[in-house]
Structure 1
């Protein structure tokens, strides 16, 4: 029976994917930069989200980098720093 539940999508609601777990965030030049949790085995991989409201619509840009670390604090600092760098280099161009 378990096989058919997996095959046809039956089962409990707890198996549905959850949203990104935000570890830290900051506002920068009108953008909202968020460090998000992305596990890679026993480590965390650098990932983040840059959001901005444009014409009443929230635009999102997700970035993932190869850097991996075990410290959550280091991950947050680096993800926010990388987000600021992307905003400085590309600005609204990330939403094209």
Structure 2
């Protein structure tokens, strides 16, 4: 990776740390848009030896990255509470 890429954010973004909730892993996967952050999270779970994934993306945008991350996790928990394993169907 070149010096400029390192300085200006080139390359892959680091994987967010998962939050474990009721056997699911929630990854806040924020989307930067015009200086704001779109609510987005990835829900994963291993089912019968296979890793399943579901994306939660909303129209909501926030000025603060921390706020967007917190609300993304809360929204993913709500989806898990409402749908459980059906989110992978």
In the superposition, the TM-score normalised over structure 2's length comes to: 0.80
Which residue of structure 1 lines up, in the alignment, with residue 80 of structure 2?
A: 87
Task: Please identify runs of 4+ aligned residues in structure 1 that moved more than 2 A.
Answer: 20-25
Which consecutive residues of structure 1, in runs of 5 or more, have no partner in the other structure? 1-13
Higher CA-based Rg: 1
How far does the alpha carbon of each residue in 1:30-79 deviate from its partner, in whole angstroms, 9 at most, with x for none?
00011112012221100000000001110000011011011111011101
Which residue of structure 2 lines up, in the alignment, with residue 45 of structure 1?
A: 38
Q: CA RMSD in A?
A: 1.9
Say which SS state the counterpart of residue 49 (structure 1) adopts.
strand
Among residues 47, 50, 53, which one is paired with 1:54 in the alignment? 47
For residues 91 and 50 of structure 1, what CA distance do their matches in structure 2 show?
11
Which residue of structure 1 lines up, in the alignment, with residue 22 of structure 2?
A: 29
CA separation of 1:84/1:73 partners in 2, compared to 1, >3 Å: closer, same or farther? same
In the superposition, the TM-score normalised over structure 1's length comes to: 0.75
Which residue of structure 1 lines up, in the alignment, with residue 66 of structure 2?
A: 73
Number of residues of Structure 1 aligned to a counterpart in Structure 2 = 80
Which consecutive residues of structure 2, in runs of 5 or more, have no partner in the other structure? 6-10
